[in-house]
Structure 1
């Protein structure tokens, strides 16, 4: 494997669980499922800390000496964005390593579908991920927007809104991948049809292409979350 970390960047109903299974069929690779985008608030905190630090340093928040204890932003100039990045990196890497019970995995990562939360700062957020997970590969997983809009819970939403959101994300995914050496775009159809693009993905990752392993993944029914029957749906409801 060429990369110590792999992040599957996508949206709901894109076939990302299938791609996750393909990646987990690679020896030494452990790709976890979704985590409700827990890293994004770290990015937001970093941006706020950066704003406080740079605004004071550039004198945007007033001309009075910010080193004086009476200054409203006293101490902000000493906040360290670099220290925050170091701490965030240690935190996220520790969380990923905790998934590896064997302690012998060579490549860790996860897939996440909630990148629309990062709009309109998606590019900056992806840069942040690269900084706290150095050497990581980003795999952008796409699917035809019309298929996504007809799938599961998304078909209950306004079709026009779903199509617009997916098409915008696809455009941003491809734009980011075009300028990055550590990014790859693959479509759901490439996985299910086992196209040359799927072989290219494995080559990009520095992994061996095993059709037998991929067939085993394709022939295994996916498991999705479903609410247990009889479970209360709100604090005031009752099992029955």
Structure 2
């Protein structure tokens, strides 16, 4: 049986060990929380990021374009997302529109508070939300964005202007394909009017691309599949070094369905 002195020393030792374990666990939790806050802040601001979006329609080879862009070191281009940014566009547009309604300054008025809609803060928080949930760039990501096949033709110029406000300096790769071939592909083949619908969608996209000027670059699936060298212009527009071997290797991999 341990002597009284030994028991005293053990009694002093073990509480210290237990306390040490508590402190280590507390530090671990604090470190984890700090890393989360750092990642959140990194994604909230990231003034270093460039933004590229692929604007097209379904069955145009857009997933292949997504693969080509992601092959560039530092690029993280996500896939389509059912155009979820459209809902945020509607939210922001409605908030801005309602802020100009007459009245709304007193609690007795039906639109009380509408005039205080903070448009700049709305854009900042939409950017933070998109970065943290849709794009999720990594610490080594230089350029991020996504490809989307759902672009509403009715107010497309306004929507694209909104995206450029949310994502400063955003650029758009406009991908097209022979519409006759597209209209016979997958779900388009089930719609007798698909060719006309596709023509309208493409016309709207190309019109916006024309307005964007140097912020947009057009590529055509049939051209770059036949001759990958035509993509050299895309890389120059992006400001990235041309890598013919990388491009050919990416084109050789099956993308999409």
Fold in common (TM above 0.5)? yes
Query: Taking structure 1 as reference, are residues 185 and 223 closer, same or farther at Cα in structure 2, changes over 3 Å only?
Result: closer
2:79 counterpart (20, 30, 33): 33
SS in 2 for 1:31: strand
- The aligned counterpart of 1:90 is 128
Is the contact made by 1:26 and 1:208 (CA closer than 8 Å) also made in structure 2? no
> d(CA) in 2 for partners of 1:45 and 1:66?
19
Q: Which runs of 5+ in 1 are unaligned?
A: 60-64, 225-240
* TM-score (structure 2 length as normaliser): 0.76
SS in 2 for 1:179: helix
* TM-score (structure 1 length as normaliser): 0.81
CA-atom RMSD in angstroms: 1.8
Q: What is the Cα deviation at residue 212 of structure 1?
A: 0.7
- The aligned counterpart of 2:254 is 221
Q: What is the Cα deviation at residue 11 of structure 1?
A: 0.9
The count of residues paired between Structure 1 and Structure 2 equals: 209
> d(CA) in 1 for partners of 2:82 and 2:252?
28
Per chain length, whose mean CA-contact separation is higher, i.e. which structure has more relative contact order (CA < 8 Å, sep 6+)?
1
Q: What is the Cα deviation at residue 108 of structure 1?
A: 0.9
Is the contact made by 2:153 and 2:204 (CA closer than 8 Å) also made in structure 1? no
> d(CA) in 2 for partners of 1:21 and 1:185?
17
Query: Taking structure 1 as reference, are residues 97 and 174 closer, same or farther at Cα in structure 2, changes over 3 Å only?
Result: closer
Runs (4+) of structure 1 moved beyond 3 Å? none
> d(CA) in 2 for partners of 1:97 and 1:114?
17
Q: Which has the larger radius of gyration?
A: 2
More helix by share: 2
Q: What is the Cα deviation at residue 197 of structure 1?
A: 3.9
CA offset digits 1:76-96 (Å, max 9, x no partner): 111122221111111112235
> d(CA) in 1 for partners of 2:65 and 2:145?
13
SS in 2 for 1:198: helix
- The aligned counterpart of 1:14 is 60
- The aligned counterpart of 1:47 is 93
Q: Which runs of 5+ in 2 are unaligned?
A: 1-47
2:144 counterpart (98, 108, 111): 108
